[in-house]
Structure 1
Amino acid sequence: MACSDTDYAYLRELVLEQSANLIDPSRNALFDTRLTPIARLSGADSLEDFVNMLKAGRPAHLHRAVAEAMTINETSFFRDMRPFEMLRQILIPRLMERRMEERRLRIWSAASSTGQEAYSLAMMIAEHFSEIAGWDVKIVGTDISRHVVDYAQKGRYRRLEVNRGLPARMLLKYMTRHGEEWEVSPQIRSMCEFHYANLCAPLPLLPTFDLVLLRNVLLYFSQQDRRALFREIHRKLSPAGYLVLGNAEQAEDSTNLFEVEFGADCYFYSPVRAS
């Protein structure tokens, strides 16, 4: 039996509470597709029965499973090349110049999904900035879904995944084939690490970053949660660092925290320094 409008409203509220992900009512059908396997594994006879289990508060871990299932994990290698070109031409050279003495870079791939963004950035740095070989470079990917964090940590991708955006030359140079899968090389993997994190909760364990990539995430957050997230990122970003958003996103209502810059056909942001 299909869910009632009341059940869908409950599920949308549950996802919002757990992950700040706003699900429009027009997308209720996604619940049917993504939650039916979880409902079956939980022993529920139908999605309606599964919702009743959730409402009864048992078991509590299923609430998190629902939020993770509804998180959008769409990604690919070098997704949208323009920001990567801007990073190559402008931001990475600037950061290298500013960090020349420490020879250390910290980069945060927020909402990193299955890891392609972090690994793409590591490949780009290895390919175009050979002088950074002796530096301490770490790209930290975080995501609210433990499943995709585990996937990213393995660094192994199916043929369909590597065929999406990864140039053949880089595939052969930075990945090794194992049957029907391709594994990221130790050189690239050593630059990346992945952790579970909820962007709508305090992030005390993360260090200060020189660069934050927060692309194609804000669309799913309420205005209040976006403001809170920008405050958290401003706190985690070095005064000489940069924030990169998706092409259709902007740091609205945060002009007291970030100022916008433009270069290589892309916008990026730098933190406003305290006067």
Structure 2
Amino acid sequence: MACSEADYAYLREVVRLQSANLIDPSRNALFDTRLAPVARLAGVSNLEGLVSLLKEDRPAHLQRAVAEAMTINETSFFRDPKTFAMLSEEILPRLIEERAGAKRLRIWSAASSTGQEAYSVAMTLAEKFPGLAGWDVKVVGTDISRQVVEYAKSARYRRLEVNRGLPARMLVKYFERHEEEWEVCARVRQMCEFHVVNLCAPLPKLPVFDLVLLRNVLLYFPQQDRRTVFGQVHQQVARDGYLMLGNAEQAEDSTNLFEVEFAAQCYYYRPVVKR
């Protein structure tokens, strides 16, 4: 027997409260597939039993497990080629010139999922800017899901994953094959680190970033949570730094914090510096 609409509504609310993600009712079937393993680990046989357990005891770890299982983790290497073209042709050259004195660069992949975006940025730095070899460079990837963060840390990807967006020459140059998996090479791995972070909760101690990539995540947040995220990101990006959103996203809720600049067919944001 399928879950009742009331049960699905309850699960949607758990996800919203835990992660700020809004699950449309038309996608209720996702709960059936994604929460089946969570139900088994919780010792119940179906989704109805999981909902009953959540309602009875409201265990925090189980609520978090539900939210993590439902978090959207769609990603690929070099997702949105125009964005990476703008990075390598416009933004990174500016940053490298401006940071030449300190020889230090900090980049935040703020919704990094299984790590492809962070590793793509690191590969771009290694490929396009060999002069950074003596710099202090770090790409920090964060995500709300512990499971995907651990996957990113492993730096190993299946054939289907490396076939999505990764040019063959980059695969050969920056990965090592281990039977049916491909592992990011040590040089690129050393540039990256990954942490569990909820963008809608108070942030842990993070560095000030020269560039923040906040792509393809705000679409799933309600307006109030978008404002919260923009406010927190504004605190973490250098005053002369850069913010990049997904191609379908805008900082319309935070025009007092970020102002738009254009390059080619993409655009990015600079923090508004209050005087």
Q: Which bracket does the TM-score occupy, shorter chain normalised?
A: over 0.9
Post-superposition Cα deviations, 1:31-82, rounded to whole Å, max 9, x if no partner, equal: 1111112112222122111100011125431110000000000001001101
- In structure 1, the partner of 2:41 is 41
- In structure 2, the partner of 1:266 is 266
- Give the 4+ runs in structure 1 shifted more than 4 A: none
| Contact in 1 for aligned 2:218/2:226 (Cα 8 Å) | yes
CA distance in 1, matches of 2:236, 2:144: 18
**TM-fit CA distance, 1:268:** 0.3
- In structure 2, the partner of 1:111 is 111
* 2:43 matches 1:65: no
- In structure 1, the partner of 2:150 is 150
| Contact in 1 for aligned 2:243/2:269 (Cα 8 Å) | yes
| Contact in 1 for aligned 2:176/2:185 (Cα 8 Å) | yes
- In structure 2, the partner of 1:101 is 101
Q: For 2:75, give the aligned amino acid.
A: T
* 2:175 matches 1:164: no
TM-score relative to the length of structure 1 = 0.98
| Contact in 2 for aligned 1:90/1:264 (Cα 8 Å) | no
Q: For 1:174, give the aligned amino acid.
A: Y
**Unmatched runs of 5 consecutive residues or more in structure 1:** none
Q: For 1:144, give the aligned amino acid.
A: I
Post-superposition Cα deviations, 1:103-145, rounded to whole Å, max 9, x if no partner, equal: 0000000110000000001001100101111100000000000
Post-superposition Cα deviations, 1:156-179, rounded to whole Å, max 9, x if no partner, equal: 111111111110101011000010
Q: Secondary structure at the match of 2:79?
A: coil
Q: For 1:245, give the aligned amino acid.
A: L
- In structure 2, the partner of 1:138 is 138
**TM-fit CA distance, 1:25:** 1.1
Aligned length: 275
Q: Secondary structure at the match of 1:56?
A: helix
For structure 1, which segment, 58-67 or 120-129, has the greater mean C-alpha deviation from structure 2 after superposition? 58-67
* 2:249 matches 1:249: yes
Percent identity reads 71
**TM-fit CA distance, 1:19:** 0.3
Post-superposition Cα deviations, 1:173-231, rounded to whole Å, max 9, x if no partner, equal: 10000101111011000100000000101113111000000000001101000001101
| Contact in 1 for aligned 2:109/2:139 (Cα 8 Å) | yes
Across the aligned residues of Structure 1 and Structure 2, the Cα RMSD in angstroms comes to 0.9
**TM-fit CA distance, 1:14:** 0.5
| Contact in 2 for aligned 1:104/1:137 (Cα 8 Å) | yes
CA distance in 1, matches of 2:265, 2:91: 13
